[in-house]
Structure 1
Amino acid sequence: MFVPCQGRARPDFKGSTLLMPAVSVGNVGQLAVDLIISTLDISKVGYFYTDCLVPMTGNNPYATTEENATELCINAEVYALPSKELVVLQLRSPFIKNKYRPFCQTILAWVKSCGFARIVLLSSSHAYQRNDQQLHGTSLRYLLSSVVEKTIESTLKKLNGKELEQVAAFPGVNDDEKVFHIPGGGITKLLFTESCSKGIPMVVLLKFCSEGDNIPDALTLADYLNEWLHLTATQNESSSIKSSRWKIPSSWKLLFGSGLPPALF
């Protein structure tokens, strides 16, 4: 359930694109969303109240001054940039066991009630579980629901990604039946199939990766999204400055902890 910030009127999201991450391997989608919010300086307009995520609270992850550093953030927050018809839902904690499906149903009900034009889900998948086809070429993939396939597929085919390959549902037994396999993708497959069954326009952009320092993966995924939506780039931008366009959030200083205490030495 969406709750607007105190003192704010309920915003009108009709016709906007909803951008959100899947809580997936390497947290790549969440890191990419961090880059987009920080770079575009998108304003927080509310919260998404749900019992499907582990509760958490913390300081402002996009702090720029001492004054706004004390603002609190929670596990699911909504940001909006009306000039680009963009709404961003950032998720900051993992899902509670057996809560994937209720969360997906809640999100899709909210999308329908608000009249969003489409959902764009940023995700990732285990690189070590790729099949032979997926080992060749780019590590970027896309998935399109049938509602948007005709209008968007030609554009995405021109970019640095490929449509996610299907794999045999029962390898060695029946190789004719194909399914999407997204290991480590969290809610990605469920949200995509639910969107398809309900006729909701949805685009999934994902990257194969491994756990570790996933900042380069997040930059690559953000670049991929930007090639399509042109959130920060100009048409004539040189490819040599792609990733330098992104503003790193202040919270990333502690991405791997606060370092070793000097007392150890």
Structure 2
Amino acid sequence: MNSFIPSPGFDARRFKGTTLILPSVSIGNVPQLTTDLLLSTLKLDRVGCIEDENVVPVLGPADRPHSEPTTLATAGTGITGVSGGGLLSLAVEVFQSKDGKWTLIQQRSPTVSHRSHHYADNLVRFIQDSEFDQVVLLASADGARRIDIQLRSGNPVRYIPSPQLPGTLLETLRGLGLQALENIPATDREVERARELHVQLTEQVQDIQLDDSSLTSSSSTTTTSAQKTLEKVPRIPNGGFARRLHSLCQESGIAILTVVAFAMEGDNAPDAIFLANVLNAILRVHNPTEQQVRDGEGEWKVPKSWDSLYGNSHHQDMYQ
């Protein structure tokens, strides 16, 4: 179901024709950190949130005061703002630029274990209902799983296009020297996990529809078809739901571009800045004026929350 809850005064019809940018919770949290940079630099307005039972519920202080004139309680969440007029950040929030060109989703918590496919299904319905012009999905992949051609490449970023993408965008990607993501072989564990998931889904269908063999057969065929659809998209190791979301959008006729950055766990702030630069080269989301450059606003603005991203530094006296 479409669980988008708009902020007071926001009309969801404003999504139509805009470009949606969203992260897949992946290794190193690079996509989320990149989205943080976009939100902090572009100063987007929060226009609502997405409630989904498949995402771990969290809340905390907003990284910066939002432009909403009232508390979140008026949006139907039952949560009031913090002291000083600031608001709380939720698990999944939706932002939009003032010119209505860009819409961003930020996901601040992971999906519930083994339920990411349900969240992906719900997101596709939200995308369809909103009638976005195109979708840009940010993901990161396990750098240790790179194949030889990827190791020899000097660029740690790949992309996955869908047939519905406009030719001009594909030309831009090729002009930047970016390469499409090569297929990465599955590990034995991934093969076994896929087999277990297929058996589990088949058993669930049989339990629910035991009295109707025709429905059971139809659902089994649907499950097999979904697996074949997924296989059309290259594997993204530790990429979260990116592969499934891309395949669902592609199958639904939605123009989607998935941008994948190879990364390792650690201090991933530089990876996020690099991915933000690549994204900006593709879409030109951040195009500062000469005055902004002179005022020091031409670079990516690091959000306040990054101050404690990896905890406090150790006191040097402990090493004496």
Please classify the TM superposition score into its range, dividing by the shorter chain length. Answer: 0.7 to 0.9
Aligned partners of 1:154, 1:205: CA distance in 2, in Å? 15
Bigger mean CA deviation after superposition, 118-127 or 149-158: 149-158
Give the structure 1 partner of residue 277 of structure 2: 223
Aligned-pair distance for 1:179? Answer: 6.1
Deviations 1:136-190 (A, max 9, x none): 221011111111163421110111521101245699xxxxx98612111001111
- Report % sequence identity: 32
Whether the 8 Å contact between 2:141 and 2:260 is mirrored in structure 1 is: yes
Aligned-pair distance for 1:67? Answer: 7.3
Q: Is 2:259 aligned against 1:200?
A: no
Change (3 A) 1:146 1:45: same
Whether the 8 Å contact between 2:4 and 2:48 is mirrored in structure 1 is: yes
Give the structure 2 partner of residue 32 of structure 1: 34
Whether the 8 Å contact between 1:25 and 1:125 is mirrored in structure 2 is: yes
Q: Deviation above 6 Å: which 4+ runs of structure 1?
A: 66-69, 261-265
Give the structure 1 partner of residue 70 of structure 2: none
Aligned partners of 1:154, 1:73: CA distance in 2, in Å? 38
Aligned-pair distance for 1:258? Answer: 3.3
Q: Is 2:245 aligned against 1:191?
A: yes
Bigger mean CA deviation after superposition, 177-186 or 195-204: 177-186
Structure with the higher fraction of residues in strand conformation: 1
Change (3 A) 1:136 1:149: farther
TM-score of the pair, normalised by structure 2: 0.72
Change (3 A) 1:8 1:182: same
Change (3 A) 1:90 1:39: same
Q: Is 2:50 aligned against 1:48?
A: yes
Deviations 1:8-64 (A, max 9, x none): 232311000111001000000000000001001001111011111111010012359
Change (3 A) 1:244 1:256: farther
Residue 36 of structure 2 aligns to which amino acid in structure 1?
Answer: D
Residue 232 of structure 1 aligns to which amino acid in structure 2?
Answer: H
Q: Is 2:91 aligned against 1:72?
A: no
Whether the 8 Å contact between 1:142 and 1:161 is mirrored in structure 2 is: yes
Aligned partners of 1:190, 1:219: CA distance in 2, in Å? 25
Give the structure 2 partner of residue 102 of structure 1: 118
Q: Is 2:161 aligned against 1:144?
A: yes
Give the structure 2 partner of residue 212 of structure 1: 266
Change (3 A) 1:168 1:260: closer
Change (3 A) 1:73 1:179: closer
TM-score of the pair, normalised by structure 1: 0.86
Aligned partners of 2:260, 2:289: CA distance in 1, in Å? 23
Structure with the higher fraction of residues in helix conformation: 2
Aligned partners of 1:170, 1:179: CA distance in 2, in Å? 17
Aligned partners of 1:194, 1:117: CA distance in 2, in Å? 16
Deviations 1:190-230 (A, max 9, x none): 11111111111100111101000000000000000100111
Aligned partners of 2:177, 2:273: CA distance in 1, in Å? 14
Residues matched between the structures, number: 252
Aligned partners of 2:136, 2:127: CA distance in 1, in Å? 12
Deviations 1:235-258 (A, max 9, x none): 99xxxxxx9710000111110123
Please give the secondary structure, in 1, of the residue aligned with 2:10: coil
Instruction: Specify the structure having the higher radius of gyration (Cα).
Output: 2
Whether the 8 Å contact between 1:60 and 1:68 is mirrored in structure 2 is: no
Aligned partners of 1:57, 1:168: CA distance in 2, in Å? 38
- After superposition, residues 78-97 of structure 1 pair within 5 angstroms as 78-83=94-99, 85-97=101-113
Aligned partners of 1:165, 1:84: CA distance in 2, in Å? 34
Whether the 8 Å contact between 1:58 and 1:74 is mirrored in structure 2 is: yes
Which 5+ residue runs of structure 1 have no aligned equivalent? 172-176, 237-242
Whether the 8 Å contact between 1:160 and 1:224 is mirrored in structure 2 is: no
Aligned partners of 1:110, 1:73: CA distance in 2, in Å? 20
Which 5+ residue runs of structure 2 have no aligned equivalent? 67-81, 189-230, 291-296
Whether the 8 Å contact between 2:288 and 2:298 is mirrored in structure 1 is: no
